[in-house]
Amino acid sequence: MGSLMIRCPVTGREISAGIEADDSRFRASPVFFAKSYCAFCRIEHEWFAKDAWVCEAPVMFVAAAQQRKIA
C-alpha cells in the first residue's frame, strides 16, 4: 500500500491525493476522474487516474525529500 500521488499543474510539485492504494490494483482500476486539494496552491486540482501514481514511500518522507531538493 502506498499514497496516491499527483503533480501540481501550477508548481510541478508532487502532492498526495489523500488516497491509500495498492499499485497493482490501482493500475487495474477503470479510468476515473477526481479532485484533490493542493496545499501549495490552496486550490483543488482535477485529475485523471492516468496522471497519478502510487508512491510506496511514506508521504512524510517524500515531502522531506522535496524540501531538501528545493533548499
- pLDDT tens per residue, range 31-49: 889 999 999 999 999 999 8
E strand or H helix at 66: helix 59-70
Say which residue, 46 or 67, is predicted with more confidence: 46
Q: Please give the pLDDT value at position 71.
A: 44
What's the domain range around 42?
Answer: 2-70
Q: Please give the pLDDT value at position 65.
A: 55
- What is the total count of domains within the chain? 1
| Amino acid at position 68, single letter | R
Q: Please give the pLDDT value at position 7.
A: 96
User: Please, which residues have CB within 8 angstroms of residue 31's CB and are 6 or more apart in sequence?
Assistant: 48, 49, 50
